[in-house]
């Protein structure tokens, strides 16, 4: 039991960033068919419907899984289904005795409710949906301190920051970059009436007019500027600078932390700057990182490294970085890559090395991609091969 959220998962000891916390086999798992949008379920935060195609399918598959492996119902019975406060979790693990004496089957209504409150989707494409019993016990935070990805039916959860003993472990039930009204709608459907996270606290102080204007501006950008950004066409750059300023003005305090609505426009500006100026592109990507709460790089990183220095040639380093105020985020895979690319071109080797190590860490914990696999992808994107020859790692202190 946790102080604020009721039932949840709490760290029993200090956990470094990037640690594998759980591996859980899914129940009722299915994957969207390519090109078929009908099966979108809970992760479809805009049009949440309690029992759509996806949930019906998941209920049927869950039933099938229980019939094939009856002990599964012991774990499922411990999950929240809307009508009890807290089941006894001391019984959560399956023992040998359970195999000889399987627990009673669950009613169809109970399974439907378990699916409603506990199903997850991954971030893959096409998406995979299912119930992963142990991760289901983690409460929600819009900026969660742990990450999830699936390989087959297995879900893997890693720490996205340094977590101290006694701190609760959170997962995100909604996309971090979704606007507050959309996040709220989905969380309401999960019976979470008031998310206690820092981002929601900040967003609740904003005005309805601000949300509406941000939505209007986002649509305008998608309709008018996105195709230029996709083509790296800088003729749109002045318009994008104006757009970003207009977006900033929708916030009551333009300097508040986590103005997430600026993330996509500023990323777009970074792409437009790429062909023109490494300095401008680097500055813009650092601004993107700051929007996502990453302020562990400062001006001291922006200095050139002499070619004969230790840092330009030393093989492997464990970089210690001050633990950021907010956890790592999915977009870090690309953002840290861009920072590394432009920092490297400008001769800021130390910044480039730290950034590429962070990009690899993000790829590892958000997608399950190893550093070696990530290096192959980044080599194909023409990142300096010398930068990829380092085998650096990151520690948050």
Binding residues vs Zn ion (CB under 5 A): 142, 195, 197, 200
Nearer to Zn ion, 262 or 387 (CB): 262
In the numeric block, the tokens 């798992």 are attached to: 29
Residue 94 token pair: 């399956």
Rounded-to-integer distance, Cα 366 and Cα 158, Å: 8
Q: How many of the other CB atoms lie within 10 Å of CB of 210? A: 17
Do the beta carbons of residue 318 and residue 312 sit within 8 Å?
Answer: no
Please say which residue, 21 or 199, places its beta carbon nearer to Zn ion: 199
Query: Which two three-digit tokens encode residue 146?
Result: 């742990």
Beta bridge partners of 50: none
Nearest distance from residue 142's CB to Zn ion, in Å? Answer: 3
CB of 260 to Zn ion, least distance (A): 11
Q: Which is nearer to Zn ion, 202 or 343 (CB)?
A: 202
- Closest contact distance (angstroms) between CB of 208 and Zn ion is 18
Q: How far apart are the first and last CA of the chain?
A: 28
Q: Least distance to Zn ion from the beta carbon of 184, Å? A: 9
Would you say 101 or 205 has its CB closer to Zn ion?
A: 205
Q: Which tokens belong to 16?
A: 């470094």
Nearest to 147 by CA among 170, 164, 129: 170
Of 255, 239, 246, 340, the C-alpha closest to 291 is 255
Tokens of 349: 């080797």
Name which of 29 and 169 has its Cβ closer to Zn ion.
Answer: 169
Q: How far is the CB of 180 from Zn ion (least distance, A)?
A: 8
Question: Closest CB to Zn ion among 14 and 201?
Answer: 201
CB of 199 vs Zn ion, minimal distance in Å: 5
């Amino acid at each position: 039991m946790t102080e604020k959220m009721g039932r949840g998962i709490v760290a029993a000891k200090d956990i470094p960033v990037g640690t594998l916390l759980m591996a859980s086999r899914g129940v009722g798992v299915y994957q969207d068919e390519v090109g078929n949008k009908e099966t979108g379920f809970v992760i479809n935060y805009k049009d949440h419907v309690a029992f759509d195609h996806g949930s019906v399918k998941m209920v049927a598959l869950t039933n099938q899984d229980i019939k094939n492996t009856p002990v599964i119902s012991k774990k499922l019975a411990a999950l929240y289904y809307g009508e009890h406060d807290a089941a006894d979790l001391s019984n959560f693990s399956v023992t040998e005795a359970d195999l000889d004496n399987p627990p009673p089957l669950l009613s169809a209504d109970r399974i439907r409710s378990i699916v409603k409150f506990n199903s997850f989707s991954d971030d893959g494409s096409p998406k995979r949906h299912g119930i992963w019993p142990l991760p289901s016990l983690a409460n929600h935070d819009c900026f969660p301190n742990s990450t999830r990805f699936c390989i087959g039916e297995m879900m893997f959860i890693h720490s996205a920051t340094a977590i101290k003993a006694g701190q609760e472990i959170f997962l995100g039930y909604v996309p971090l970059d979704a606007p507050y009204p959309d996040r709220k709608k989905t969380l309401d459907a999960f019976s979470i009436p008031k998310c206690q996270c820092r981002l929601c606290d900040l967003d609740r102080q904003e005005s309805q007019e601000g949300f509406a204007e941000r939505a209007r501006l986002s649509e305008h950008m998608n309709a008018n500027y996105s195709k230029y950004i996709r083509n790296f066409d800088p003729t749109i750059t002045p318009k994008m600078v104006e757009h970003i300023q207009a977006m900033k003005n929708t916030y009551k305090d333009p300097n508040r932390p986590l103005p997430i609505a600026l993330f996509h426009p500023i990323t777009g500006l970074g792409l437009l700057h790429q062909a023109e100026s490494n300095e401008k592109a680097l500055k813009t990507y650092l601004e993107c990182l700051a929007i996502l709460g990453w302020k562990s790089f400062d001006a001291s990183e922006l200095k050139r490294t002499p070619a004969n220095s230790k840092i330009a040639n030393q093989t492997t380093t464990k970089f210690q970085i001050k633990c950021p105020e907010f956890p790592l985020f999915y977009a870090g895979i690309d953002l840290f890559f861009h920072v590394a690319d432009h920092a490297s071109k400008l001769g800021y080797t130390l910044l480039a090395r730290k950034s590429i190590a962070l990009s690899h860490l993000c790829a590892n914990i958000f997608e399950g991609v190893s550093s070696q696999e990530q290096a192959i992808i980044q080599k194909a994107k023409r990142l300096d091969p010398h930068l990829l020859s380092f085998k650096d790692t990151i520690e948050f202190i």
